[in-house]
Amino acid sequence: MVTIIPYGYCHCGCGSKTNVPKKTSSACGQFKGVPLRYVHGHHRRITGQLWEARDCGYKTQCWIWLYSLTTDGYAETSKDHQTLLVHRVNYINKYGPVPVGFDLDHLCRVRRCVNPDHLEPVLPRVNIRRAISTKLHTGLVAQIRLLATKGLKHREIAELFPIVSRRHISNVIARRRWAND
- Could you tell me if 70 and 33 lie in one domain? no
- Could you tell me if 37 and 104 lie in one domain? no
pLDDT of residue 134: 64
Has residue 17 been placed in a domain?
A: yes
The amino acid sitting at 128 is I
Domain residues for the domain of 145 are 138-173
- Could you tell me if 63 and 120 lie in one domain? yes
Checking if the pLDDT of 1 tops 60, the result is no
Has residue 178 been placed in a domain?
A: no
pLDDT of residue 2: 47
Has residue 146 been placed in a domain?
A: yes
pLDDT of residue 45: 62
Domain count, the chain: 3
- Give the residues across from 63 on adjacent strands: 53
- Could you tell me if 75 and 111 lie in one domain? yes
- Could you tell me if 124 and 69 lie in one domain? yes
pLDDT tens, position by position, 68-125: 788 788 888 878 888 899 999 999 999 999 999 999 999 888 888 999 999 999 998 8
pLDDT tens, position by position, 126-142: 887 777 556 777 788 88
Has residue 180 been placed in a domain?
A: no
- Could you tell me if 56 and 126 lie in one domain? yes
- Could you tell me if 102 and 164 lie in one domain? no
pLDDT tens, position by position, 11-36: 766 778 888 888 887 666 678 888 88
* Residue 177 burial by Cβ neighbours in a 10 Å radius (0-12, 13-18, 19+): middle
pTM above 0.85, yes or no: no
pLDDT of residue 99: 94
- Could you tell me if 125 and 160 lie in one domain? no
Distant-in-sequence, close-in-space partners of 54: CB < 8 Å, separation ≥ 6:
61, 62, 63, 64
